[in-house]
């Protein structure tokens, strides 16, 4: 385990870069109406110092405890990062909230965490969330915040002197409480120390050596551990520049502005990038062009440039399995997609594929200092130097998750190959039993189906039925198949049937799918079908379509189209 010395702690690096990289751009934020603002290290740290001084004053007025919790409710933006630093400088604990939570969930977390103040930042639906914020919380916002009577960031910065000196926080001191997104139930508050936040980026540093010359686009939720680790903590330790995305509609422009050198995404978005390319040029046409030596190189370079990936030297993915065909396709463009694996409970520091050593379907080898093993029931156990301090106010759940000798129960099932690479085969509790009494692990089957270019999301289910089956959502460009475009529907029926047949060939007989049900609409964070980290909420999907299961089964077709409600 890396010994954490005072100069390795996150605030120590912030104060270091405040001097050494004072005039270097750090945070680049779209401000709306085509305007973009960039803060240098010196400017960003100065504003954080001023907000920290104001927070300390609020603490004295309202008699907050020394370890007061301050919540951050915002989409990713420069002020999110500066707020996190200000909270730490003030001596408090940051509590990030997902920017898509319901008012009920917002209130649950604020009350459970005992938060005393909240930063209300960039949000899409604050009107829906606002009832979840208790009136007695101190509230503050920024220029990107929705209209409300909270104190404004620029006013705080203008009317408060910067907090002097260099705040020292102990390595074993609580730094943040990260509430898990959770596919079911009340989120648990994962506690992490400053030592964890100091150690976490070292794992990335040992693999890909980030420097102040690197650029990253921050768009996956900073309230989730992956972005907090791979983007925020890496930037703080290594001095990398951060760009922020404005909206979904401007995402491609934001990518092209940042031209990231390090880029991490979830499989679903890698698929969307690919589908966007195919919408302009069909895969079959591109395959032909790629086979022409000189022209192929030009076309590949043009695709990467248009996506904003022409300078990427490390591209990663995680949170869900990455289809092997997707990895191979990006590989043909010259972009090596490397899978990784981690949890909120170990700050994401678990496994990652090494450049040049990736294997499709595997999430790589343990990071330095991390141990792994497979329990008798197939569960993956991980012992990481970044394991959590425990769940906030949940000692029993902490004991269930962490053994006395430091092994974390991941809840995931897996296998380890001869090169020590880990493959995730599903969730321990996701296994379901068919009517024939056979257990089915849905994740590997879903991974095979997700290779189809028109499938956006898929859920394998079928508890109590003779054979499992799949429910699939199509990509937006394929939605015409639900209308009058019968030729498109017929073509998709054939190709989806072929994909299912191929998936069945790779599975044991009891895991053979009886059909794929294609349903209209989409599964989003907003409608509750997926978590903020884009994982399917199986219970929600199953409950939503359960009334159709028997009818679909009676049709005895390989592909069933749900054309009505």
**For 297-318, what is the mean pLDDT?**
91
Helices (H), 221-323: 225-227, 234-238, 251-258, 267-280, 283-290, 293-307
Query: N- to C-terminal Cα distance for the chain?
Result: 55
pLDDT range class, residue 146, cuts 50, 70, 90:
very high
Residue-wise pLDDT tens digits, 98-119: 998 889 889 999 999 999 999 9
* Residue 3 burial (CB count, 10 A): 8
Say if CB 350 and CB 371 are below 8 A apart.
Answer: no
**For 537-549, what is the mean pLDDT?**
90
Statement: residue 157 has pLDDT above 60: yes
- Give the pLDDT of residue 248: 84
**For 230-240, what is the mean pLDDT?**
97
Helices (H), 166-265: 194-208, 225-227, 234-238, 251-258
- Give the pLDDT of residue 184: 47
Residue range 431-561, CATH number = 3.30.300.30
Cα 340 to Cα 422: distance, rounded to the nearest angstrom? 10
Please report, rounded to a whole number, the percentage of residues in the chain having pLDDT higher than 90: 70
CA 232 to chain centre: 13
Q: Which two tokens stand for residue 536?
A: 């399917």
- Give the pLDDT of residue 185: 56
**For 160-167, what is the mean pLDDT?**
96
DSSP at 355: T
Place of tokens 């760009």: 243
Statement: residue 219 has pLDDT above 50: yes
pLDDT range class, residue 431, cuts 50, 70, 90:
confident
Statement: residue 183 has pLDDT above 50: no
DSSP secondary structure, 485-516, as one string: -HHHHHHHHHHHHHHHHHHHHTS-GGG--S-E
**For 327-334, what is the mean pLDDT?**
91
pLDDT range class, residue 565, cuts 50, 70, 90:
low
Q: Which two tokens stand for residue 209?
A: 């050596």
Poorest-confidence range of 190-194, 416-420, 433-437? 433-437
Statement: residue 223 has pLDDT above 50: yes
Give the contacts of 292 (CB within 8 A, at least 6 positions apart). none
Say if CB 85 and CB 11 are below 8 A apart.
Answer: yes
**For 498-508, what is the mean pLDDT?**
90
Statement: residue 269 has pLDDT above 90: no
Give the contacts of 441 (CB within 8 A, at least 6 positions apart). 413, 425, 426, 430, 431, 511
> Average pLDDT over the chain, rounded to whole?
92
- Give the pLDDT of residue 6: 94
**For 465-483, what is the mean pLDDT?**
90
pLDDT range class, residue 326, cuts 50, 70, 90:
confident
Residue-wise pLDDT tens digits, 333-351: 999 999 999 999 999 999 9
How much is the pTM?
A: 0.81
* Residue 122 burial (CB count, 10 A): 26
CATH number for 13-168+214-244 (one of 3.40.50.300, 3.40.50.980, 1.10.10.10, 3.40.50.12280): it is 3.40.50.980
Cα 380 to Cα 341: distance, rounded to the nearest angstrom? 11
Residue-wise pLDDT tens digits, 55-70: 999 999 999 999 999 9
Q: Which residue has the higher pLDDT, 267 or 260?
A: 260
β-bridge partners, 233: none
- Give the pLDDT of residue 1: 59
Poorest-confidence range of 24-28, 221-225, 505-509, 537-541? 505-509
- Give the pLDDT of residue 81: 98
Q: Which 3 state secondary structure label does DSSP give 102?
A: coil
Residue-wise pLDDT tens digits, 184-204: 457 899 999 999 999 999 999
Cα 385 to Cα 406: distance, rounded to the nearest angstrom? 9
Phi, psi (rounded to 5 degrees) for 380: -80, 125
- Give the pLDDT of residue 464: 82
**For 536-559, what is the mean pLDDT?**
91
Domains 261-428 and 431-561 share a fold: no
**Residue 65: which region, alpha, beta or left (left: phi > 0; alpha: psi -120 to 50)?**
beta
- Give the pLDDT of residue 478: 87
Statement: residue 315 has pLDDT above 90: yes
Domain boundaries, given as residue ranges, for the chain:
13-168+214-244, 261-428, 431-561
- In CATH terms, the fold of domain 261-428 is Rossmann fold (3.40.50)
- Give the pLDDT of residue 109: 94
E strand map for 74-134? 93-97, 115-120
Cα 477 to Cα 328: distance, rounded to the nearest angstrom? 23
């Amino acid at each position: 385990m890396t010994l954490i010395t005072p100069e390795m702690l996150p605030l120590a690096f912030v104060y270091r870069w405040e001097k050494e990289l004072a005039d270097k751009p750090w945070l680049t934020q779209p401000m709306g109406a085509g305007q973009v603002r960039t803060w240098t290290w010196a400017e960003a740290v100065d504003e954080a110092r001023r907000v920290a001084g104001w927070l300390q004053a609020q603490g004295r007025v309202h008699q907050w405890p020394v370890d007061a919790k301050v919540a951050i409710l915002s989409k990713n933006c420069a002020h999110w990062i500066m707020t996190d630093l200000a909270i730490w400088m003030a001596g408090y604990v940051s509590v990030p909230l997902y920017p898509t939570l319901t008012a009920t969930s917002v209130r649950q977390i604020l009350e459970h965490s005992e938060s005393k103040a909240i930063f209300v930042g960039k949000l899409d639906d604050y009107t829906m969330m606002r009832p979840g914020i208790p009136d007695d919380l101190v509230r503050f916002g920024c220029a990107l915040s929705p209209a409300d009577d909270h104190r404004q960031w620029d006013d705080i910065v203008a009317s408060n002197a910067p907090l002097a000196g260099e705040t020292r926080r102990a390595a074993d001191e609580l730094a943040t409480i990260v509430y898990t997104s959770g596919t079911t139930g009340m989120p648990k508050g994962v506690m992490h120390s400053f030592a964890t936040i100091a150690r976490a980026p070292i794992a990335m540093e040992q693999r890909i050596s980030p420097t102040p010359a690197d650029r990253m686009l921050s768009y996956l939720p900073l309230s989730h551990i992956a972005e907090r680790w791979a983007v925020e903590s890496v930037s703080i330790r290594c001095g990398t520049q951060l760009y922020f995305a404005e909206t979904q509609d401007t995402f491609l422009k934001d990518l092209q502005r940042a031209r990231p050198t390090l880029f991490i995404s979830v499989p679903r978005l890698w698929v969307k990038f690919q589908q966007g390319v195919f919408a302009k040029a069909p895969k079959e046409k591109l395959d032909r062009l790629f086979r022409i030596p000189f022209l192929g190189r030009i076309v590949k370079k043009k695709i990467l440039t248009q996506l904003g990936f022409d300078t990427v030297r490390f591209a990663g993915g995680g949170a869900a399995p990455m289809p092997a065909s997707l990895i191979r396709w990006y590989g043909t463009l010259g972009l090596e997609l490397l899978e990784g694996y981690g949890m909120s409970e170990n700050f994401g520091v678990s496994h990652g594929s090494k450049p040049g050593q990736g294997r499709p379907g595997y999430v790589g080898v343990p990071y330095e200092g991390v141990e792994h093993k497979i329990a008798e029931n197939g569960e993956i156990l991980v012992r990481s130097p970044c394991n959590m301090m425990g769940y906030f106010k949940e000692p029993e759940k902490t004991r269930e998750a962490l053994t006395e000798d430091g092994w974390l129960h991941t809840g995931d099932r897996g296998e380890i190959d001869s090169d020590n690479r880990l493959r995730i085969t599903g969730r321990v509790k996701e296994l379901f039993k068919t009517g024939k009494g056979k257990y089915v692990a849905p994740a590997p089957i879903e991974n095979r189906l997700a290779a189809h270019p028109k499938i956006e999301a898929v859920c394998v289910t079928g508890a109590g039925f003779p054979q499992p089956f799949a429910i699939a959502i199509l990509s937006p460009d394929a939605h015409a198949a639900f209308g009058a475009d019968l030729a498109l529907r017929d073509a998709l029926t054939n190709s989806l049937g072929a994909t299912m047949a191929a998936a069945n060939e790779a599975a044991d007989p009891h895991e053979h799918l009886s059909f794929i049900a294609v349903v209209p609409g989409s599964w989003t964070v907003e409608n509750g079908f997926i978590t903020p980290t884009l994982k399917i909420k199986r219970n929600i999907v199953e409950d939503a379509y359960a009334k159709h299961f028997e009818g679909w089964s009676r049709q005895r077709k390989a592909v069933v189209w749900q054309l009505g409600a």
